[in-house]
Chain A
Amino acid sequence: MSAALEAIALTKRYGTTPALTKCDLRIPAGHVVALVGPNGAGKTTLLHLAMGFLNPTAGDIKVFGWSPQAQPTIVLPRVGFLAQDRPLYRRFKVRDLLEFGRRLNPRWDGELARLRLERLAIPLHRPVGKLSGGQEAQVALALTLAKKPDMLLLDEPLSNLDPLARREFMQVLMDAVAEEGLTVVLSSHIIADLERTCDYLVILAQGQVQLAGEIEGLLDSHRTLVGGPSDRALLEHDTSVIHSSHTPRQTTMLVKLNGRPAAGQWEEHHVGLEELVLAYLSRPSGDSSTKPEPVEPAKLQ
């Protein structure tokens, strides 16, 4: 079975500025994926490449096995995309946007979108620009879902929303996922937004995938070890040590277990998702010895 989203040595440069550098990634269908990374890590570039808005500089990107650049008419109807800040035509009434979607999408389910919006008490006759931020986000989400996509790509969908609006947005999203079995990729630089809803993690930093896999498995295969002071240089050369912090009396490090148990003199703790992400993001840049593990197409296929 082909992956929902697959990148093979994917490279994108804007002029001479690299955004993605030989990025390899394979996201199986059916997951709710957290795509995390600092600002400028290449998250938006990756999603825009997946929608065919951009051409790769080198390498390949595939959506359900198809190229978004070469076969846009196959890919576009199958993928719902919500761009950062959820841009909509603000002069349009909600009703007009539904008409907009109906006319440009073959798989359109306007009735479903209308019901969703009515349930949220969003007036269809009102121009989008006059809705609250949360309502606007709901309209954008409803339009994206009405496309009946097999995969949703959401670029920072919760940015600039208040906590209540965030919760409502995620609620509607997760209901739809449960009903329709969508693959969802949510990009964010705030991991707390995604912790409860995602079951798959992709960490992107400096234009490369640092870590990818099912969250449960990733948490199982990492540990925090706490012990007495130790040789810093030695730890920095150990590829299984993702991150370490030192005080005169104590060393704390996050390690990848690689199937073997941790050494005896260390106090062992389970790691949380946020801890894991932060450890990978704070790794020194350009460290090629810690290439991402998940690129094992043979195993996944």
Chain B
Amino acid sequence: MIWVTWAQHRREALVSGIILSVAAALLVITGLIILADFKSSGAANCAPAAGPAVGVFASGTSCEQVLGAFFSRWLTLTGAAWLALMTLPVLLGVFIAAPLLSREFEQRTYLFAWSQSITSLRWAVVKLGLFVAVVLVSAAALTVLVMWWHSPLDLAGHDGPWAAFDIQGLAPIGYAVFALSLGTLAGLVIRRTIPAMALTLFVFVAVRILIGALVRPHFMTAVTGSAPDLKQGSWVLSASYYADAQGHHVSLEQVNQMVSVYASTAPTTFNGSAVMDYLHRQGISLLTDYQPLDRFWPFQLIEAALFFGLAVSLFAASLWWLQRRA
């Protein structure tokens, strides 16, 4: 059955192999260039693990400028790479997983396969098992490479590794397996390739957006902290806002009113920090909600567990559907 799966899908394997090799080569080449720039521009010396405070009111130190310049130099490339890497699981789901079984039904070759001395359940389990194994290994290998590639940018960017949450760590492996399970089930249930591909595309993108935008920020209760003291590598969830000592929001109009009162009473030193000091004395502080750097890996674990869980359920649903033989 292993040989059979290979013989049947070597074309897909070849094309995927080429795409992944090209991606890996590009990552290695650009990764080396980024790393060289990271060192030669001095950004490497400015970026200790803890990172300097990067705040709203903080004055531009030279290190900040160096890091900022380094980060923006590679913004276009990282954006493009991010998009390409985000697309890979979609391609896997739409062009490999969705046709995997639907084409067998469409061309009725499943009848030939099932007419051999092997049960349809074993046929599916071995086939899918092999695909899962190959996808796991390739996704893991690619992700490790992406993490090396992105590591200088993790140190330089405000959000640290959070900026590339979707393409590094454990989550991308989860996305890949989920795409595989989704395409397989769609192909098995719909039995026609094009509709199965369309459904896979739609559901995959919908689930990714839904979890990424609405669920992920709440994996753990956000930390509320002083916006100016925000540590590098924090994932900022909200625009900074003013709050009183009890933590209640204070509207910008109220703050402006207080500032104008202050301006009329103590006009001697009227600059940003003096205003902040004054507001502080009034119990007003500038806050922001964020997820700190040390939650990156717990969040990766939760996100990956979520998508692996979905994948396992969808694979189970596929096998259940198959043995129903309705």
* Chain A residues close to B by CB (< 8 Å): 14, 51-55, 69, 72-73, 76-77, 80-85, 87-92, 96, 99-101, 103-107, 140, 144, 147
Q: How far is the CA of A80 from the CA of B115 in the complex (A)?
A: 7
- CB nearest to A103 among chain B residues: B3
Contacts of A92 in B (CB 8 A): 7-8
30 contacts between A and B (CB under 8 A): A14-B326, A51-B115, A52-B120, A52-B325, A53-B120, A54-B326, A73-B119, A76-B116, A76-B118, A77-B117, A81-B115, A83-B108, A83-B111, A84-B108, A87-B107, A88-B109, A89-B8, A89-B109, A89-B112, A91-B11, A92-B7, A99-B3, A101-B116, A103-B1, A103-B3, A103-B4, A104-B116, A104-B117, A105-B116, A147-B117
Q: A100 and B7 in contact (CB under 8 A), knowing A51-B114, A83-B112, A88-B109?
A: yes
Q: Is B281 on the interface with A (CB-CB < 8 A)? A: no
Contacts of A80 in B (CB 8 A): 115
Q: Is the CB of A72 within 8 A of B119?
A: yes
Q: Is B324 on the interface with A (CB-CB < 8 A)? A: yes
Q: How far is the CA of A88 from the CA of B112 in the complex (A)?
A: 6
Q: How far is the CA of A87 from the CA of B120 in the complex (A)?
A: 16
Contacts of B111 in A (CB 8 A): 53, 81, 83, 87
Q: Is the CB of A144 within 8 A of B326?
A: no
Binary A-proximity of B1-18 (CB < 8 A = 1, otherwise 0): 101100110010000000
Q: How far is the CA of A147 from the CA of B8 in the complex (A)?
A: 20
Q: Is the CB of B109 within 8 A of A54?
A: no
Q: How far is the CA of A99 from the CA of B116 in the complex (A)?
A: 12
- CB nearest to B123 among chain A residues: A104
7 closest cross-chain pairs (CB), A and B: A104-B116, A83-B111, A77-B117, A81-B115, A87-B108, A55-B325, A105-B117
* Chain B residues close to A by CB (< 8 Å): 1, 3-4, 7-8, 11, 107-109, 111-112, 114-120, 324-326
Q: Is the CB of A96 within 8 A of B7?
A: yes
Q: How far is the CA of A97 from the CA of B1 in the complex (A)?
A: 13
- The minimal Cβ–Cβ distance linking B99 to chain A, given in whole angstroms, is 13
Q: Is the CB of B118 within 8 A of A85?
A: no
Q: Is the CB of B4 within 8 A of A104?
A: yes
Q: A104-B116, A144-B115 are in contact. List 12 more A-B contacts (CB 8 A).
A: A53-B325, A55-B324, A76-B115, A76-B116, A76-B118, A77-B117, A83-B108, A83-B112, A88-B109, A88-B112, A89-B109, A90-B107
Q: Is the CB of B1 within 8 A of A104?
A: yes
Of the residues A55, A77, A83, A147, contact of B326 by C-beta under 8 Å = A55
Q: How far is the CA of A144 from the CA of B103 in the complex (A)?
A: 22
Q: Is the CB of B4 within 8 A of A100?
A: yes
Contacts of B120 in A (CB 8 A): 52-53
Of the residues B3, B116, B117, B325, contact of A54 by C-beta under 8 Å = B325
Contacts of B119 in A (CB 8 A): 52, 72-73, 76
Contacts of A83 in B (CB 8 A): 108, 111-112, 115
Q: Is the CB of A107 within 8 A of B117?
A: yes
Contacts of A69 in B (CB 8 A): 325
- CB nearest to A13 among chain B residues: B326
Q: How far is the CA of A89 from the CA of B107 in the complex (A)?
A: 9
- The minimal Cβ–Cβ distance linking B12 to chain A, given in whole angstroms, is 12
Contacts of B7 in A (CB 8 A): 92, 96, 99-100
Q: How far is the CA of A103 from the CA of B1 in the complex (A)?
A: 7
Contacts of A85 in B (CB 8 A): 108
Q: Is the CB of A104 within 8 A of B325?
A: no
Contacts of A52 in B (CB 8 A): 119-120, 325
- CB nearest to B116 among chain A residues: A104
- The minimal Cβ–Cβ distance linking B230 to chain A, given in whole angstroms, is 58
- The minimal Cβ–Cβ distance linking A86 to chain B, given in whole angstroms, is 8
Contacts of B109 in A (CB 8 A): 87-89
Q: How far is the CA of A8 from the CA of B107 in the complex (A)?
A: 32
Contacts of A77 in B (CB 8 A): 117
Contacts of B115 in A (CB 8 A): 51, 76, 80-83, 144
Taking each of B1, B115, B116, which has the highest tally of chain A beta carbons within 10 Å of its own beta carbon? B115
Q: How far is the CA of A14 from the CA of B112 in the complex (A)?
A: 22
- The minimal Cβ–Cβ distance linking A132 to chain B, given in whole angstroms, is 19
- The minimal Cβ–Cβ distance linking A159 to chain B, given in whole angstroms, is 13
Q: How far is the CA of A147 from the CA of B112 in the complex (A)?
A: 12
Contacts of A82 in B (CB 8 A): 115
Q: How far is the CA of A105 from the CA of B115 in the complex (A)?
A: 10
Q: How far is the CA of A260 from the CA of B120 in the complex (A)?
A: 51
- CB nearest to A12 among chain B residues: B326
Contacts of A99 in B (CB 8 A): 3, 7
- CB nearest to A104 among chain B residues: B116
- CB nearest to B2 among chain A residues: A103
- The minimal Cβ–Cβ distance linking A110 to chain B, given in whole angstroms, is 13
Q: A53 and B114 in contact (CB under 8 A), knowing A89-B109, A99-B7?
A: yes
- The minimal Cβ–Cβ distance linking B236 to chain A, given in whole angstroms, is 52
